Amino acid sequence: MGTPIETMAVIIPTEPIGSIPRPPELIEALANSNPLGLEMLPLYDVAIRDTIAQFEATGSPVITDGEQRKYHNFWTYSVHGLPNTDPDGFTIPFEAGHDRRMPRLVAGPFRYRIYADEYLDAAMRYAQVPVKQAVISPSALSLMYPAEEIPGYPRSRFIDDLLAEHETEIRRCLARGAHKVQIDFTEGRLAIKLDPSGKLLNSFIDLNNLALSRFTPEELTRLGVHTCPGADCDSTHSAEVDYAELLPSLFQLKVHNFYIALAGERDRQRVLKIIRSHMKPDQRIFIGVTAPINPRIETPEEIRDQILEAALYIPVDQLGTTDDCGFSPFCDDTSTSRDTAFAKIRARVLGTALVSKMLSVN
């Protein structure tokens, strides 16, 4: 078992992951219109304002824009629609039987079509509390490069361009005033499923660390990495992969904040023991306490108990809470309602506050 929890003055931070289900009107419009078209801007604006208002009503001290304007999905928003790509790229299979596909790069150079600071800028016009911004990892986008070398554009040059674009995006978000910039690394657990030897995962870690090495220690305190087994249409792509195969490598990432899906795990204590064994003193661990793919809304008391359990393994001054994943990372996923998403967030906020109050000196 872990060590007893000492009473202290403490506020446990709590943050969302990113996406909130879009309003039905926006989903319908996205299905029938060009997502980059000027006619979409008023619909995006309405969705962003409503999302931020509902987010702030939950009491959440940090919010996102709900990824209302992220074109296509959280993974390919920055490259969707590039003219030097084909749609028949890397396939992400989900246990429900469906899959998602990435674009395949067919020619150089590699450039982003949009940077996430554009979403942040729109959100901060309405938000009254700090706003975080999620961005996709270099390792995820590295899967766009095909197995056979592109003539005239070797993989080494692609990697240089990829790292430069990723750095530019993060720096633009930091300059806009993002509370945190969260790097989505859902492919970490998937990498073990694709290559049980661990070589693919290690290559992902190395690539992401190359990107992180471009930032100062102070900047790294505002960066984080999110890992989960995927969440789409109430299913996952890699939940069967043992966390013991991922977490030791994950904590080698040179970043200070980790957002780790935990609420949906069958044996949370085992995962917490692995976290305790491999986390570093300068790392904060935001544990998932709500399960977006489970329609049942957690109670604040259930979340309180999850946090108290985690505090037996993770020092309280290194502990935070989050959701296991975004609630609609793919824009056409209607398996979760907006009301359910905000109810779960409200429960997370309240449950985290209960623990902060319990652990604080009266």
What CATH number did the domain enclosing 55 receive?
Answer: 3.20.20.210
Note whether residue 18 is domain-resident. no
What's the CA gap between 45 and 66, in Å, rounded? 12
pLDDT in tens, 223-245: 999 999 888 878 889 889 999 99
Question: For residue 24, is the peptide bond before it cis, meaning its omega torsion is within 30 degrees of 0?
Answer: no
Residue with more model confidence, 234 or 162: 162
Q: Considering the domain boundaries, does residue 10 fall inside one?
A: no
Q: What is the pLDDT of residues 24-81, one digit of tens each?
A: 888 888 888 777 777 888 999 999 999 999 999 999 999 999 999 987 788 899 998 8
Pairing of strands 319-323, 257-260: unpaired
Of residues 359, 348, 307, the one with CA closest to residue 325: 348
Is 4 within the bounds of a domain? no
Which of 250, 275, 147 is closest to 190 using CA atoms? 250
**11 within domain boundaries:** no
Boundaries of domain holding 259: 24-359
Helices 117-124 and 41-57 pack at an angle, to 10 degrees, of 60
Q: Is residue 2 part of a domain?
A: no
pLDDT digits (tens, 9 = 90+) for 168-217: 999 999 999 999 999 999 999 999 999 999 999 999 999 999 999 999 99
Q: Cα-flanking dihedrals φ and ψ of residue 345, to 5°?
A: -65, -45
Q: What is the mean predicted confidence (pLDDT) over 238-256?
A: 95
Mean pLDDT of 285-292: 97
pLDDT at 3: 45
Could you report the per-residue pLDDT of 292-350, keeping only the tens digit for each?
A: 999 999 999 999 999 999 999 999 999 999 999 999 888 777 888 999 999 999 999 99
Mean pLDDT of 107-131: 96
- State how far the Cα of 166 lies from the Cα of 163, in Å rounded to an integer: 5
Query: How many domains is the chain partitioned into structurally?
Result: 1
- The reported pLDDT for the residue numbered 9 is 57
Q: Are strands 223-227 and 257-260 parallel, antiparallel or unpaired?
A: parallel
Residue 252 lies in a domain: yes
Separation between Cα atoms, residue 112 and residue 70, nearest integer Å? 13
What is the model's pLDDT at position 351?
98
In a domain, 12, yes or no: no
Q: How far apart are CA 351 and CA 138, in angstroms?
A: 34
Over residues 280-303, mean pLDDT? 97
